[in-house]
Structure 1
Amino acid sequence: MNTRDWPIRAKLTALVIGPVTALLALWIFATSLTFGPALDLLAARTLLYDLGRPGEAVVAELQRERRLSVVQLAGDGTLPALAEQRTRTDQAVAELRRRVDGPDLRDAADDLLNTRLDQLLSALDALPAGRGYIDARKVDRAGAMGLYNGMVNSAFQAFSALATLPDNQINREALALTALGRSRELLNQTDALLAGALTAGRYAEGEHQQLVRTIDNQRFLMETAVADLPDAARAEHRRFVEGEAYVRLHALQDTLIRSRDLPADLDVRAWESSQAAVWQGLRDFELRGADDLTERSVPMAVGILVRLGAAGVLGLLAIVLCLLVALRVGRSLVRRLTGVRTAALDMAEQRLPDVVARLRRGEDVDVAREAPELDHGSDEIGQVARAFNEVRRTAVQAAVDEVTLRRGLNEVFLNIARRSQGLVHRQLALLDRLERRTEDPDELAGLFQVDHLATRLRRHAEDLVILAGAAPGRGWRSPVAAVDVVRGAISEVESYDRVDVGQMQPAGVLGRAVGDVIHLLAELIENATAFSPPGTRVDVTGRSVPSGYAIDITDHGLGMSPQTLADANRRLSRAPDFDPAESARLGLFVVARLAARHGVRVELRLATPAGTTASVLLPTDLVTEEPTIGPDVNPSGPDERRLAKVTRLTTVPRPGAARPAREGPGASVVSLPAGRASSVEPPADGDGLPRRVRRRGPANRARPVVADAPAHRPPEEARRAMSALQAGTARGRRDGARAAADRLPEATTTEPGPPAPASEPPTATERDA
């Protein structure tokens, strides 16, 4: 049985209940052991008057009826005295049955005595049938003797069961009286055998030997029984056996033993008078001894009960006192230990987290007030309480120090991040100006690469801002198309050329959440490219759902185990505190922070047939109509202008459009109008769309030798041409609209608009146009 996890109340209860229960059980056991014998002594009177006297009367009547039955069988006629004796025997048996069937005797008797009583009643039930056999002379004298001897023997077995009293001396005297009764029964058997022989004039076969054995047994039982009697009883019995009747009977018995036939000189009258006197004298001696035992057992039982009552009361008082002391001490221990436990739990679950939360909110915390003293005495529990006081103060102070350190660390993060952001923004502005002034295509491509690296540096600086608990500085005042948000996120990823923008249903994202959503998607796309083989693609799709707008990012890597997936989703479902030990999961932490800031739900699930899909659900309060692109659109902020650079060279995919190009982030392919076969020459309809012409280098630069065009154009060249046509068409239309509205001066130049966005590498359109 494991008791380690039991509550302290249960353990103390077990400690108390165990000894008290054992003591109570011992008290009950000792009381029952003493109380039972006392009740047996008190029941001795009931047993004597309800079984001893009626049973002895039945035995006496059976002995008389046995003698008359043997005499009748030895003679030729019927004895009138036998009928009268049978009536007296029936009356004695009926009285015995009434006493045995009564509640008093059965309640006072034990199991052995009840069994012996049932055997006695069963033997008496055979008496009517035996009488019939005797009257019909179907049995001889030996059979009649056996019938009555069996019933008398059953009676004496019941008397022997009475001698189970707790007092040894009384028990020995009771057994001695029972032995004297058996000796008297043997004396009566001798008289019955002799009476039958005298009536018949001779012994039947074997009767003399039986007579001799009976006399010997009778004398042996009497000598043995007298040895266990008390001194007064032995003296009385000695006087009895020295009397004239017993001496004469003993002499006549010697005469019968010596003669194998009936002595001719036997004085029958002397035998009958002596035998009757001895038999009656022994019966009176037994009854007086039984009465004496009964009278002596009552005061003995009363004394035992008095001592038992005193011992029982004192034992019960001791048990109650022990129980009260144990309960009081146990309740005190439980109360004090519960107080210490409650204080510990309150500190661990309530006070300490509340102190940490208040410290994070910038509130001041009084250590002494938050960790009050616990006073539980001066014993071991009090010492534990004092030690816990120190632990609580140390824990609160450690929490204050940790939060102060964390706050300072956040300030350091934020300071470094702000400085880095300032430098990166200045770098991006410088790169933007350099891109506008640069005419050499190779230098422009290098500037685009540096621009892309700076954009990624800006995202990592924003990670520090998010770790510090602040908001990044990027912001938009106007909604931005969802596809442009996705393209902006792709432009901040290293392996942007592996990302495919699939079908994106029209929708817009509110300006206040654009920067954070771009950052969130960039982190997820970065993870998708980092945890999938280099040769695989990452698909990004978007669709409108009843609860908002869902963006799915699917990679085709090895995927995640169910346990890892569940752990990651648990991290993404809430915004945890930053733990420096979890630096390997920094991206998930940033995504969880950004998602919690705007109520965005992010969930990872297994893709089919392999890989992982990250589902981003933008709530309805962040989603709006897709903004229109026209002459009235004027990006006012630097971040809006940079995002415009991302979207100016691409068109928004619509359902049914071709798959986006893979040369650059956000590039897509559209169907060409009928009859338009090239993207490098003006169309025949003269729509006035400009062409981007690759500028030549400086004058002193050697002109490259152009090889003859191959007779068969490879698929890659055709794809680049189609991508250039798409990007140029879209850019030309936007620049034409801006020139008409006279809002963007740079759109009126002969050059086809600004170069690719500073936040992404150059597209295939710009490299090939």
Structure 2
Amino acid sequence: MNTRDWPIRSKLTALVVVPVTALLALWIFATTLTFGPALDLLAARTLLYDLGRPGETVVAELQRERRLSAIQLSGTAELPGLAEQRQRTDRAVAELLRRIAGDDLRDAAGDLLDTRLDQLVVALDALPAGRGFIDRRQVDRAGAVGLYSGMITSAFQAFAAMAALPDPELNRQALAVTALGRSRELLGQADALLAGAFVSGRFAEGEHGQFVQAVANHRYLVESAVADLPPAERAAYQRLTEQEAFGRLRTLLDTAVAASGRSRPTVAPETWVASYDRVQQAMREYELNQADGLADRSVPTAVRILVRLAAAGLLGLVAVVVAVVVALRVGRSLAHRLTEVRTAALETADRRLPDVVARLRRGEQVDVAREAPPLEYGADEIGQVGRAFTEVQRTAVQAAVDEVTLRRGLNEVFLNIARRSQGLVHRQLALLDRMERRTEDPDELAELFRVDHLATRLRRHAEGLVILAGSAPGRGWRQPVAVVDLIRGAISEVESYDRVDIATVAPAGTSGRAVGDVMHLLAELIENATAFSPPDTRVEVSGHHVANGYAVEVSDRGLGMSPAALEDANRRLARSPEFDPTETARLGLFVVARLAARHGVRVRLRPSDTSGLTAVVLIPPDLVTEEPALPVDQDAGTAVTPVRRKTVPRPRAARPPVTAPPAPAAAAPGATPAVPAPAEVVGEIDGLPRRVRRAASPGVTAPGGRPAADRTPAPASGVDGPTVRQPAVGTATPRSPDEARRFMAALQAGTARGRLAAGGAPSAAGSGTQTEAPTTTERDA
């Protein structure tokens, strides 16, 4: 039996129950051993009155009937007194059988006495048949004497089984009284043989030997029985035998034994009968008195035994109760103290220590001594365990304080590095912007645009580091921004932006306070979709209104995720977890979860309809606004109405057509040759105006000695509209206010047309506007 994994309460219970059970079993066993003899003593009185008295009456009646039956078999006539004696015998036998069949006698009798009673009943059942043999003279005197003697012997065997008292003195006296009764029965057998001899005039063949044997056995039993009697009873019996009748009977017996078996008995019948009757009656009375004395003495003995039993049982019961109480109190005290230690340990592990860590992460100050109070449980081993656990608890709290302090320091380091990186990236973007404005070479301008894109991505990663450090990025907008512009801004921060298609986007706006975070969130999801899908597949971004906000979906055609991994990712996205430096494989999910929790945005991943995954971003209603109003044409004073048309994706490597400029005019002698105004070809892509490359006049150089060349800036994807570079061909000529106003109005009208074409007029093939390579991004952070 393996008790190693038992609870401490079960072990203590086993330690208590086993010895207490053993003690209780011993107490019950000792009580039963003592209680049994007391019951036997109390049952002795029942045996005496239900078996002893009726049995002795039956024996006396059978002895008389035996004598009369021997006399009748010795003569020829019927004895008139035999029938009357048989009636008395039948009444005595019926009473005895009734007592034997009763429950009181059977309950008080043991196994041996039950067997002897059954044998007695069988022997008495043979009495009517024996009487028939006697009446038909089919049996001689010896046979008749043997018939009755067998019944009487069965009765004395039952008496001997009844004399089994637990007290040695009483039991020896009871056996002695029973032996005196058997000696009296042997004297009765001798009387029956002499009665037959008196009638017939002599002993029959073998009767004298039976007579001599009966007399000898009688004297032997008397001698041995008297020796076992107590002194007082033995003296009373000696006084009884000193009577004249006992002396005369001994003389008659000696004379009858000495006579020849063939001759007539030399004993006078009258003298024998008178002496025998007196001796038989005296011995019977003595036996009955002794039996009554035994019954009277057994009751006080039983009472004394019961008193001793009660005292011993009470003391044993008190000992058992005291043992149980002490065991229970000690066991309960041990279990209670150990339970308190366990409760304190579990409370520290499950509540106190996590609460301390949470408070430390919130920036609160923690008192180690207060959070780890000492556990006082005495000076024994349990108290030592409590003090040891107190030290362990303090060490754990102090370790938690040190760990949170270290993590806070790491976060400060991350935040410091991230802020420095942000500052450098912003300065880099500003520098790139100035360089892009000054550059005239289209190839160099394209390279600068790519560097601009890399810097934009660096800015996003720097913001991710700020988020990992537990702070908020610095970018923000004062006014709502259209969702389509927000999506374009997110795409501009992705490496594989050329694989992203904008599908149907329902008109809506996003509150300015959440624009930067939502844009970063979408950028992380789009980056993840492009990274985990084949390079030849497309990623679609769409947006539509739902019952509880605005949903933006990012769908890819990758391999997807297993159900377990998908469930784990959704569980991480559903809450804002603490940053764990050991989990560096899914930093994007951590950033998305942090940004979503900041504004109540819900993000969930689910399998796509075909293959791959779909990330659903649910923007809450409090962040959703109407789409910002379109710009107003300052010349006409009305809103610019964009032209809705189907957009056709343009390959990234396509070059715009180049138109040769007109020939320059001849310069005046001595005059500085002026750079002619370049002819500019303006095209339209996605509803936005786009300048295409133009050819520079031969021999015309830009300031600085570089050939003048057109540049073709790609449409900007910033949320504040495209950024247009002012060409710097030849010398800088300032624009008049009217020219600047017309130029900005044309730019706003083109932006509005492109936005409407991308969000409201999907192509027939079902795909949205393909996003061109981004140039500069929003700078108003």
**TM-score of the aligned structures, taking structure 1 as reference length:** 0.71
1:616-655 correspondence runs (5 A): 616-625=617-626, 627=627, 630-631=630-631
Deviations 1:640-678 (A, max 9, x none): xxxxxxxxx9999xxxx99x96978xxxxxxxxxxxxxx
1:411 deviates by 1.7
Q: Which residue of 2 aligns with 1:521?
A: 522
Segment of structure 1 superposing worse, 232-241 or 339-348: 232-241
1:514 deviates by 3.0
Q: Does 1:229 align with 2:228?
A: yes
1:170 deviates by 4.0
Give the structure with the higher percent helix: 1
C-alpha RMSD of matched pairs (Å) = 5.4
Give distance in 1, aligned partners of 2:11 and 2:464: 53
Deviations 1:532-591 (A, max 9, x none): 555555555555443334444455555444444443333333222222222223233223
Segment of structure 1 superposing worse, 135-144 or 507-516: 135-144
Give distance in 2, aligned partners of 1:63 and 1:501: 134
Q: Does 1:245 align with 2:246?
A: no
1:37 deviates by 1.8
Deviations 1:238-277 (A, max 9, x none): 996996535754775797xx96xx8655869377667766
Give distance in 2, aligned partners of 1:615 and 1:381: 57
Check 1:377–1:130 CA distance in 2 against 1; reply closer, same or farther (3 A cut).
same
Give distance in 2, aligned partners of 1:390 and 1:35: 60
Give distance in 1, aligned partners of 2:213 and 2:90: 27
Q: Which residue of 2 aligns with 1:413?
A: 414
Give distance in 2, aligned partners of 1:688 and 1:565: 40
Segment of structure 1 superposing worse, 172-181 or 266-275: 266-275
1:14 deviates by 4.0
Q: Which residue of 2 aligns with 1:592?
A: 593
Q: Which residue of 2 aligns with 1:430?
A: 431
The AA in structure 1 aligned to 2:452 is: D
Give distance in 1, aligned partners of 2:199 and 2:378: 104
1:409 deviates by 1.9
Query: Aligned with 1:582: secondary structure?
Result: coil
Q: Which residue of 1 aligns with 2:42?
A: 42
Check 1:438–1:305 CA distance in 2 against 1; reply closer, same or farther (3 A cut).
same
1:478 deviates by 3.8
1:561-576 correspondence runs (5 A): 561-576=562-577
1:279-678 correspondence runs (5 A): 283-284=284-285, 286-438=287-439, 440-499=441-500, 501-502=502-503, 504-532=505-533, 534=535, 538=539, 540-605=541-606, 611-625=612-626, 627=627, 630-631=630-631
1:24 deviates by 3.0
1:440 deviates by 4.3
The AA in structure 2 aligned to 1:32 is: T
1:109-148 correspondence runs (5 A): 109-110=109-110, 113=113, 126=125
Q: Which residue of 1 aligns with 2:24?
A: 24
**Is the Cα contact below 8 Å between 1:189 and 1:214 reproduced in 2?**
no
1:521 deviates by 3.3
Deviations 1:726-761 (A, max 9, x none): x9xxx99x99xxx9998794574799889x99xxxx
Q: Does 1:58 align with 2:58?
A: yes
Check 1:212–1:62 CA distance in 2 against 1; reply closer, same or farther (3 A cut).
closer
1:597 deviates by 2.1
The AA in structure 2 aligned to 1:19 is: P
Give distance in 2, aligned partners of 1:691 and 1:176: 145
Query: Aligned with 2:583: secondary structure?
Result: helix
Q: Which residue of 1 aligns with 2:88?
A: 88
Q: Which runs of 5+ in 2 are unaligned?
A: 635-641, 653-680, 701-713, 726-736, 756-768, 775-781
The AA in structure 1 aligned to 2:37 is: P
Check 1:741–1:355 CA distance in 2 against 1; reply closer, same or farther (3 A cut).
farther
1:33 deviates by 1.9
1:406 deviates by 2.1
1:116 deviates by 5.7
Check 1:326–1:588 CA distance in 2 against 1; reply closer, same or farther (3 A cut).
same
**Is the Cα contact below 8 Å between 1:500 and 1:661 reproduced in 2?**
no
**Is the Cα contact below 8 Å between 1:439 and 1:697 reproduced in 2?**
no
Give distance in 1, aligned partners of 2:19 and 2:582: 53
Identity of aligned residues (%): 63
Deviations 1:349-408 (A, max 9, x none): 444333333333333333333333443333323333333333333333333322222222
Query: Aligned with 2:582: secondary structure?
Result: helix
Check 1:327–1:231 CA distance in 2 against 1; reply closer, same or farther (3 A cut).
closer
Deviations 1:151-181 (A, max 9, x none): 6566445434434433345445545554555
Check 1:133–1:210 CA distance in 2 against 1; reply closer, same or farther (3 A cut).
farther
Give distance in 1, aligned partners of 2:475 and 2:531: 25
Deviations 1:219-255 (A, max 9, x none): 6994897498357478888996996535754775797
1:34 deviates by 1.6
The AA in structure 2 aligned to 1:26 is: L
Query: Aligned with 2:521: secondary structure?
Result: helix
The AA in structure 1 aligned to 2:34 is: T
**Is the Cα contact below 8 Å between 1:505 and 1:544 reproduced in 2?**
yes
1:606 deviates by 5.0
Q: Which residue of 1 aligns with 2:159?
A: 159
**Is the Cα contact below 8 Å between 1:503 and 1:541 reproduced in 2?**
yes
Give distance in 1, aligned partners of 2:258 and 2:557: 127
Query: Aligned with 2:376: secondary structure?
Result: coil
Give distance in 2, aligned partners of 1:310 and 1:295: 24
Give distance in 2, aligned partners of 1:74 and 1:572: 127
**Is the Cα contact below 8 Å between 1:41 and 1:297 reproduced in 2?**
yes
**Is the Cα contact below 8 Å between 2:496 and 2:530 reproduced in 1?**
yes
Aligned length: 688
**Is the Cα contact below 8 Å between 2:603 and 2:615 reproduced in 1?**
yes
Give distance in 1, aligned partners of 2:452 and 2:44: 119
The AA in structure 2 aligned to 1:513 is: A
Give distance in 1, aligned partners of 2:492 and 2:212: 132
**Is the Cα contact below 8 Å between 2:173 and 2:228 reproduced in 1?**
yes
Check 1:630–1:299 CA distance in 2 against 1; reply closer, same or farther (3 A cut).
same
1:95 deviates by 4.5
The AA in structure 1 aligned to 2:56 is: E
Query: Aligned with 2:603: secondary structure?
Result: strand
Query: Aligned with 1:378: secondary structure?
Result: coil
**TM-score of the aligned structures, taking structure 2 as reference length:** 0.70
Check 1:229–1:490 CA distance in 2 against 1; reply closer, same or farther (3 A cut).
farther
1:35 deviates by 2.5
The AA in structure 2 aligned to 1:547 is: N
Query: Aligned with 2:166: secondary structure?
Result: coil
1:596 deviates by 2.3
The AA in structure 2 aligned to 1:85 is: Q
Give distance in 1, aligned partners of 2:137 and 2:613: 112
1:138-217 correspondence runs (5 A): 152=152, 155-156=155-156, 158-168=158-168, 170-175=170-175, 177-178=177-178, 181=181, 215=214
Give distance in 1, aligned partners of 2:34 and 2:633: 110
Deviations 1:446-481 (A, max 9, x none): 334333322332222222222222222223344444
**Is the Cα contact below 8 Å between 1:440 and 1:695 reproduced in 2?**
no
Deviations 1:58-97 (A, max 9, x none): 3333444455567668877765434433443344345446
Q: Which runs of 5+ in 1 are unaligned?
A: 635-648, 665-679, 702-723
Give distance in 1, aligned partners of 2:525 and 2:294: 106
Give distance in 2, aligned partners of 1:743 and 1:157: 147
Deviations 1:665-695 (A, max 9, x none): xxxxxxxxxxxxxxx9989xxx998565245
